[in-house]
Amino acid sequence: MTWLIPLVSCVIGLVFAGVLLNQYRERRRWHQLMWSAGLIMFVLATFAEFYGGAFGWTPFVYKLYYFSGVALPGMLGAGTVYLMTRQRPLVGHIYAAATVLVAVVFLLAVAGAEVNTEALASAGVGSSAADILPVSARRPWSVLLSAVGGTVMLLGALYSWLRFKLAYNLQIFLGALVFILGGALTSRLGIEGAIPISNLIGVALVFSGVLAAERSRPQATAARAG
């Protein structure tokens, strides 16, 4: 039943992505578009986790899992930069363009990489890429997208919470922290079950935080108007 948690996370992520895309359709905010792209990456990654755990890993499924999992924090980080630099949108545009460019190069590197099929055959959910994909498909892209993007999202949410003391900023910060901890426990300590659990908890926290933030904006606008 190792596939059950990724499946639940995938469903939650799909709902979250739909909500954000609908918000972008209505308001045309750049941060909503980049967060939607990030949630689509989350849906792809957790679906691949589910499929790999339930039916076995294939090279295509594993590449989908690895690419989307690494690209996810990069997209969320770009959305955070847009949100933090709303008065200077050019900064957000430059950061987002760089993120997308790195993601495209990373996608090409992963797509053309040779997979270690023996290591893949014994892989579990949230398996380590070090034994399955060559270094050329992982570095420096995983650092530029995952590490940098995750840090930007984490620090952006922390700064917003410390400055405004709003509960939803704390929820988003904790969700980002859980995402990062799950990846660290897997890559550093080899705890494979950490990623599915951290994905589920992380997406729930971020989803609830973003929804609370969106609900609070009409109230804040009405209060200023009054």
pLDDT tens per residue, range 177-217: 888 888 777 766 667 677 788 888 888 888 888 778 777 76
8 A C-beta contact, residue 75 and residue 148: no
Whether this model's pTM surpasses 0.75: yes
Report the C-alpha gap between 140 and 67 in whole angstroms. 13
Average pLDDT over residues 8-16: 90
Measured between alpha carbons, how far is 19 from 15 in angstroms, rounded to an integer? 6
Average pLDDT of every residue of the chain = 83
pLDDT digits (tens, 9 = 90+) for 89-119: 899 999 999 999 999 999 999 998 888 887 7
Tens digits of residue pLDDT in 39-57: 999 999 999 989 988 888 8
The answer to whether residue 222 scores a pLDDT higher than 80 is no
* Residue that is written with structure tokens 């924090």 in the block: 73
Helices 167-189, 59-84: crossing angle, 10 deg rounding: 150
User: In this structure, which amino acid lies at residue 222?
Assistant: A
pLDDT at 96: 94
Structure tokens at 12: 């939650």
Pick the closest to residue 210 from 34, 9, 10 (CA basis).
34
Class of domain 4-216: mainly alpha
Residue 47 pLDDT:
94
Kindly tell me if the per-residue pLDDT of 32 is higher than 90: no
Q: Report whether pLDDT(156) > 90.
A: no
Where along the chain do its domains lie?
4-216
Asked if residues 169 and 160 have their Cβ atoms less than 8 Å apart, the reply is yes
Which of 175, 168, 173, 170 lies closest to 214, judged by CA? 168
Higher pLDDT, 84 or 43: 43
